[in-house]
Amino acid sequence: MRVAGFGFRAAATEASLADALDRAGGPAGLTALAVPADKAGAAGIAALAARLALPLCPVAGAELTRPATATRSAHSLAHRGTGSVAEAAALAACGEGARLLAPRRVSNDRMSTCAIATKDLP
């Protein structure tokens, strides 16, 4: 299983999200995209999920605070209770035993972040 998690501003476009994904390692092998539940209806992420033909996994706010993240953003900690929304969303959606491939990456326009988590399935 391989899940790309995203954190993004309300104005983030599909291009911004795709750029963050490319910087994080690209879409090859992904099984899903994950976002905070309150952002699951955003047009940019919905368009990216549709273009990649991947399911979009909304992650509840409480689930975002559980995983330990590699990145410690003061903004994310203050607003979401996690060091990185992208990392936490990827890890939470991937499930117990998941690990990050790398810390989150930021899009060129700084509107989106992405991190990819993976775990071996039994």
Averaged pLDDT, groups of 10, the chain, 122 residues long? 96 98 97 97 97 97 90 90 95 95 96 96 74
What domains can be seen in the chain, in order of their start residue? 2-118 (3.30.420.180)
Q: Where are the beta strands (DSSP E) in the chain?
A: 2-8, 32-36, 56-59, 99-100, 105-106, 112-118
3-state secondary structure of 9: coil
pTM: 0.95
DSSP state of 111: S
